Structures are given as C-alpha cells and as structure tokens.
C-alpha cells in the first residue's frame, strides 16, 4: 500500500510477503519499485482505515464500554472490572484473539496496568499479560521507539546510547526532565506502569447500562423485543433506587459477525417505565429506513441510559392534568417513529420580526408551559398576522399601485390578483443590532383580492429613502 507522506509517494503498509523481501513502511515507492519491479501497489485510503478502526472499536464495546482509538492501527480497551465476566483475564484475551482473528485480522494483544505499557508491549513484544506491578520489568527490554513519543526524542535517546526502555529508565528522572521536558518523564512513567492515566473513551460513558449475552445468537423479533423489555426492567429498578429517570436510552446490538448497531430513543420527561421504553423502541425499530439486520444473530444486546435525570415527584400534578400527560406520551411515541425534529410545539419569541416571532421547536425539548402569546389585534379587529407564513417570502410582480404605495394589482405564481381591499402599511424595521449591514424596513399590507383571497404582502425598503424601486413579496396567507 502506498500513500503520500511529506509530498512523496511512500509505502504506508506492507504485507507479510513484501516484508520478507525487505520492504518496510516509509520506504519511497520509487525505491521499492527499483528493488522489486513487479510490486503490487494499491493506494492508501486513510478514511477507510479510520472507518474500519471505528467499526472494530464498535465491535470491541462488547467487552467494555471504555474503548479508545489509537490511530492508525490500535485500540485501547479499559477492562477494569469486566474481565471476570469472561472468566478472567487470560480467558478474555484468548476470546478476543479468537474472535478478531476469525474475522480475518492480524492481531497483537497485550494487557498491562497502564494503557501506554500495554501499547508498547503489543507493538514490540507480543507479550500477553503483565502481572500487576511488573510493567517496568516487562517493558525494560523493549526498544526506545516503544515509548511512542516524538521522533526527535527517540533519535536523541539513541544517539545518547539509550537503546532500550530499561536503559532510559535507569537514568535519573531529573536528568531526563532537564533534557527532554517533563512531558517525556510522564510518558516514561506511564509506560513503566508507575502512573496510570485513564483512557479517553470514544463515546461518553452511559450513566447506567444493562446487557444480556446469548450463548446462541438471537435472530427473531419477539426475542429481541423481550430482551429489550427485560433489560428495561433491570434499568428501571436501578433508576428507581436512585430516584432518577432516563431521558435518552440507547440499545446496542452486537452481531456475532462483528457488526454493531446503535438505536437511540428519547423521552420528553425523565421516565422509568419499562413498558414505555419497550413501546418507544418498537416504534423506532419499525420506522428505521435501514432496518435492523440480525444477520446470523445478535450475541449481545445492551441497553444504556445515556442521560439519566432526577425525577421530580410530579405524579400528583400529572393526574391533575391528564391531557398533558397523555400528550407527552404521544410526543415521545411520534418522535420515536418520525424523529424528534418532526414533532413540534410553538414558542413565542421576544421580537417583532414576523418570521422570528414564533418558532417551532421539538416538543420533547420544550417547556411544558411557555410564555403567553402576544395579541397584535385590537378586539373586534380582524387578524393582523396570517395563519401561514412562507419560510422564504415569495417575490411578486407588482403591476399597479396607488401613489401612496398601496398595491392595486399584482401577479403571484403566474396568477393575476386585483386588490379590492388593502390595509396598511404596518412598518416593521429590522433589528439593526442583529445585522452587520443595515436591512431595509418592510411595509406590510394586508390585501384581499376580488375572490376574497387574502395575502400578507410587503414592500422591501422605503421607497426613495432605502431603495429606488423596492421589490414586493408575499410573506403569508390569511384564511
């Protein structure tokens, strides 16, 4: 495989046969071609590598939720407290090796007290498991490169005759810190297992999770639904003991052949009713554009509460206003099926710009009772605001207007409209503090044509002052 490094085509990866012929990653492609004229080369695709690594990381989440990427070829797993689920560390490593090799990957695996020690061992030693506290011993014979620090430091170490980590570690810390900086010493400490720094997981750790493993992978829908329900019950009991409810739940489906799929649901209010969870997941799964494909079956299903919030004691007030409670359930259900951005409520905004005065916001993220709606019209007056507003005002061709600016005849969507009644103008100035450039004021007219159709037209800019020939737009339709 070859790719561009420092503006030159170089080998980025070699297979076993090429390695036997003496090729190494980093060699210029021209040199490699000179050595082996019929070398088979394919272009490197970093994005695809990244994607593959991500997929592998997804898959590895079955062993622990704490998985970090170590680009370009590595994964770091923090298995603190999970090894016993797989029958101990030795058995777990064996299982991981078996599973990954069976998918056709080559693998170097190591387990140590710190991520850096494990990485050094995996890359340079192929050692399997280091007993707690023995990291320094295990990494001592490794070459200095195994420190995975900046190339110029490695180079300097080697020039100083420090070829192995053991030799580096034997020097005084002050000496090393003075020569290479404090960062280098902490890298060394971590590699020697003296100081542990937690890995940075790819996905935030869920607040709570429950999972079930299957000796025999499950395929059928009822079993999956039943599993989600019982995991939901487990989560609900934990949530209850904490006085919390879940807002976002994520189900992870691990396929035995290595694929992994995440499905999330969201509720408007914290909830811990397993029946509601199950129903929302049913809606979500039924509405997936790309349905959940069990392939040869799922061998692990995990349910995580990604966001748990304290539940207020609100059952009493819910009873008092059961319509709102029912609507909240409906909102969650519709959001699970259609997406939360498709179930909206309206909220008034403190502005007089028509298109900004009321916004539709996802109902799940909306306050139960918002501020009051401003009334524009006086009693007995007809509505001043249209029922429908175009997201983007549509230009109209104004064919005639009286001298003071009232529209008389206009063409919109190829139809001609004779204005019989016009009320206006209602001048709305743009909010100057929001825009860099001054925006023209709009003069709004409510007009009715001969058939009783009612439009909300505006002239963009004050004639003569802000624009020589202001354009006209239809912004909304009245009933």
Partner 1 sequence: MPRAGALKGYCTRVLGDPGAGLRAPFGHAPADACLGGGLRLAALHEVFASPGSEGAAAGFALALAARARGAGKWLLWVRQDFSALENGEIHASGLAEFAIDPGRMLLVRVPDVLGALRAGAESLACKGAGAVIIEAWGRSGVLDLAASRRLTLAAQQHGVTPIVLRSGADLEPSAAETRWLVRSAPSSGGADWGMPAFDAALVRNRHGACGRWLMEWDCNDGSFRPAHSRALAAMPSDRPSAPAVEGLRQAG
Helix extents (H) in 198-301:
221-242, 274-287
- Residue 182 binds to partner 1 (criterion: CB under 8 A): no
CB nearer to partner 1: give 17 or 415: 415
- State the Cα angle at 230 between 225 and 236, rounded to 5°: 125
CB nearer to partner 1: give 88 or 383: 383
- Residue 314 binds to partner 1 (criterion: CB under 8 A): no
**Distance spanning both ends of the chain, measured CA to CA:** 66
- State the Cα angle at 191 between 186 and 197, rounded to 5°: 60
- Residue 391 binds to partner 1 (criterion: CB under 8 A): yes
**Candidates 68-76, 134-142, 383-391, 425-433; binding stretch for partner 1 (CB under 8 A):** 383-391
- Residue 406 binds to partner 1 (criterion: CB under 8 A): no
Shortest Cβ 382–partner 1 spacing (Å): 5
In the DSSP assignment, the letter for residue 63 is T
Residue 218 CB partners (closer than 8 Å, separation 6+): 224, 227, 294, 297, 298, 299, 301
Q: Which residue from 262, 241, 245 is spatially nearest to 253, judged by alpha carbons?
A: 262
How many CA atoms are closer than 13 Å to the CA of 13, on its beta-carbon side? Answer: 10
- Residue 375 binds to partner 1 (criterion: CB under 8 A): yes
- Residue 291 binds to partner 1 (criterion: CB under 8 A): no
Phi, psi (5° rounding) for residue 131?
-65, 150
- Residue 17 binds to partner 1 (criterion: CB under 8 A): no
Shortest Cβ 72–partner 1 spacing (Å): 40
- Residue 319 binds to partner 1 (criterion: CB under 8 A): no
Write out the two tokens for 174.
């002050």
**Taking CB under 8 A as the criterion, which residues in 331-360 touch partner 1?**
331, 333-334, 337-338, 342-348, 354, 357-358, 360
Binding residue for partner 1 (CB under 8 A) from 179, 365, 411, 421?
A: 421
Q: Which residue from 264, 270, 268, 266 is spatially nearest to 308, judged by alpha carbons?
A: 270
- Residue 450 binds to partner 1 (criterion: CB under 8 A): yes
- Residue 324 binds to partner 1 (criterion: CB under 8 A): yes
Q: Name the residues that contact partner 1, by CB under 8 A.
A: 321-327, 329-331, 333-334, 337-338, 342-348, 354, 357-358, 360, 363, 369-370, 373-377, 379-380, 382-391, 415, 420-423, 446, 448, 450-454, 476-479
């Amino acid at each position: 495989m070859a790719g561009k490094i420092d503006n030159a085509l170089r080998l980025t990866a070699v297979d076993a046969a090429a390695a036997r012929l003496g090729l190494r990653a980093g060699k210029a492609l021209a040199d490699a071609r000179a050595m082996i004229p019929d070398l088979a080369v394919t272009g490197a695709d970093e994005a695809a590598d990244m994607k593959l690594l991500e997929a592998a990381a997804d898959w590895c989440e079955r062993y622990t939720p704490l998985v970090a990427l170590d680009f370009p070829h590595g994964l770091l797993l923090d298995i603190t407290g999970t090894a016993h689920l797989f029958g101990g560390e030795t058995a777990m490593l064996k299982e991981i090796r078996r599973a990954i090799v069976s998918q056709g990957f080559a693998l170097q695996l190591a387990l140590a007290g710190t991520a850096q020690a494990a990485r050094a061992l995996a890359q340079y030693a192929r050692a399997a498991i280091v007993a707690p506290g023995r990291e320094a011993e295990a990494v001592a014979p490794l070459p200095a490169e195994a420190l995975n620090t900046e190339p110029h430091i490695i180079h300097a170490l080697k020039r100083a005759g420090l070829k192995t980590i053991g030799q580096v570690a034997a020097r005084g810390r002050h000496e090393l810190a003075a020569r290479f900086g404090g960062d280098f010493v902490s890298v060394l400490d971590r590699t020697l297992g003296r100081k542990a720094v937690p890995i940075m997981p790819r996905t935030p750790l869920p607040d709570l999770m429950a999972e079930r493993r299957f000796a025999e992978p499950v395929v059928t829908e009822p079993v999956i639904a039943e599993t989600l329900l019982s995991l939901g019950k487990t989560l609900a009991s934990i949530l209850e003991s904490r006085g919390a409810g879940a807002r976002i739940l994520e189900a992870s489906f691990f396929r035995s052949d290595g694929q992994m799929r995440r499905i999330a649901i969201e509720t408007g209010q914290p909830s811990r009713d397993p029946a509601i969870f199950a129903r929302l997941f049913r809606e979500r799964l039924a509405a997936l554009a790309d349905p959940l494909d069990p392939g040869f079956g799922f061998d692990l299903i995990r349910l995580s509460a990604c966001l748990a919030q304290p539940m207020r004691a609100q059952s009493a007030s819910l009873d008092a206003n059961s319509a709102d409670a029912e609507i909240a359930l409906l909102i969650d259900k519709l959001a699970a099926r259609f997406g939360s951005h498709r179930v909206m409520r309206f909220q008034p905004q403190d502005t007089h710009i028509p298109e900004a005065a009321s916004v539709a916001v996802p109902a799940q993220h909306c306050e139960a009772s918002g501020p009051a709606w401003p009334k524009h019209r006086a009693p007995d007056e007809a509505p001043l605001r249209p029922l429908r507003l175009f997201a983007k005002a549509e230009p109209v061709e104004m064919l005639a207007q009286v001298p003071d600016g009232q529209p008389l005849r206009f063409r919109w969507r190829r139809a001609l409209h004779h204005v019989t009644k016009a009320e206006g103008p209602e001048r709305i100035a743009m909010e100057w503090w929001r825009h860099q450039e001054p925006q023209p004021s709009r003069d709004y007219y409510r007009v009715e044509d001969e058939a009783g159709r009612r439009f909300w037209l505006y002239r963009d800019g004050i004639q003569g002052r802000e624009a020589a020939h202001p354009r006209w737009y239809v912004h909304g339709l009245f009933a």
